[in-house]
Amino acid sequence: MTATLDVNGKAISVQADPATPLLWVLRDELGLTGTKFGCGMAQCGACTVHIDGQPVRSCVTPIEGLSGVKITTIEGLGGSHPLQQAWVKHDVPQCGYCQSGQIMSAAALIAQNKAPSDDEIDEAMSGNICRCGTYQRIRAAIKDAAAGKLDLAQAAGVAALEETAEEMAASAGATSRGAGR
């Protein structure tokens, strides 16, 4: 069958059996390899993508019936999504294998909830397994991204840099005045 899919905002035609899991179309047909294969049984979350904003396990989602819905993969977040910035800030990944799925589940959560509690985060992320145990850093990154703390942190960083630059300039001025005496 020929299916037309909306992937990351682009209409794409693919030839595939209707029962083909979306995961394999994304990875093998479209080259979107950020979405990972873990278990193939909706048990690990490594293959998580969004369909109309909701997190789904692409390993068990046949492409049949996906015409007319919006599919978003980790590539569709663009690289500078607040969660991706928070992931860098908190140095979340270890081996990294589970992380695109983690970010996609987290993105769906914070789109709905700007101040998720620990319990809400745990519930939303419960289907995403991390063998490296990065759960604490994931939780911290989600809270920062949800609350927009990244921007605040960046602003604080810029302010601190400006302060330091002013101090250095003042100090250099004092030194040169001293040297001139």
Smallest distance from the beta carbon of 43 to ligand FES, in angstroms? 5
- Kindly tell me which of 8 and 58 has the beta carbon lying closer to ligand FES: 58
DSSP string, 97-132: TTHHHHHHHHHHHHHH-SS--HHHHHHHTTT---TT
Under 8 Å between Cβ of 2 and 12? no
Nearer to ligand FES, 42 or 147 (CB): 42
Residues within the interface to ligand FES (CB under 6 A):
37-40, 42-47, 57, 59, 93-99, 130-132, 134
Smaller CB separation from ligand FES, 20 or 134: 134
Nearer to ligand FES, 51 or 147 (CB): 51
Q: Tell me how far apart the alpha carbons of residues 69 and 78 are, in angstroms, rounded to a whole number.
A: 19
Smallest distance from ligand FES to CB 73, Å:
13
CB of 58 to ligand FES, least distance (A): 7
Smallest separation (angstroms) from ligand FES to the CB of 132: 3
Report the chain's C-alpha Rg in angstroms: 22
What is the C-alpha separation between 40 and 133, in angstroms, rounded? 21
